[in-house]
Structure 1
Amino acid sequence: MSAPSKQRLRELLTWIADTEAHNGYPISEGPKNPDGDIPDEVFRDIRYLADHGLCRPEYLEQHNDMRWHWAEPVRITTQGLDWLSEDGGLTAEKRTLTVKFDEDQFKALLIAKVDQSDATEEEKSKVKEAISKGSTVVLQAALTEVTKTGIAFLPHGFQWLQKLFVG
């Protein structure tokens, strides 16, 4: 058994989220097979979403006879709303590590690195001026790249990380 397609899950969860239209997803009003039965994939998709905390069915179980038994409605959770949002909502924000770095201090570090280079004084001057006038957005991007590169080139990186995090 493979995981359902993200597109299908997104469509189902979007429908569940539209509480103004139906006050929770009424399974009985969802897609039907030609014989009028609700397809197993709908139940499996709802179960999958529920297992990941994205929706909360009132009751949904597959019994030994392999038939699904349910009670309506299915409601979206806050985690489900965040999964649907483009920016990941508060879930993404909670998992964001915020590092405050003084802009002037960062510029001074970058300029010091330029001064250590073998470039000509003219080249150094141009780069230092660009750094001095750099916008916050550009500096944030530079800080991200510097951090990635710094971690990639840590001497004895594993040992350093092990000592820092494990002790």
Structure 2
Amino acid sequence: MNLSDREFQREILRFVKESYPHPAFADALNQRFGGSELSAHLHYLDNHGLIEMNASRLCGPEPMERLVSATITAKGIDYLEADGGLGAELGIVTVRLDTNQLREMLDKRIAESPGPESVKDRLRAKVLQMPEEALGQLSHRLFEILLGKAPDLIAHLRLLIS
């Protein structure tokens, strides 16, 4: 099972969005997507607040949940919007970098940095193989480090903002 299949998750979100504000029912979801991975992806999207799953609990020797429907949330709709949706306008700053562009930028900076080639080669290989989510976390942490190390941050901001 590949829970990092973002395109499949976006397809699910787009499909559920078509019925908004009403739920997309299990039969329609199963007919459109089928397969064993659908349930795991729906739970994953629900855990991240992008959809709300409605399930009924089946009793018996082995109790289980059965999907009834799924409804996209405002957060899910905003996730699909290129500009971050209404959430971005309400004070949330969303910065999106294409993962390939970010990998290329990091790869170039590593290659140009001083240091042993063997170390740089290992770092470059790790960056190129890094999963999308880990790359996002790395970029967030790098941004925090860079802001903390910018000795002339105020001067640069005054030049860029003025």
TM range (shorter): 0.3 to 0.5
Normalising by structure 2, report the TM-score: 0.48
Normalising by structure 1, report the TM-score: 0.47
Greater radius of gyration (CA) = 1
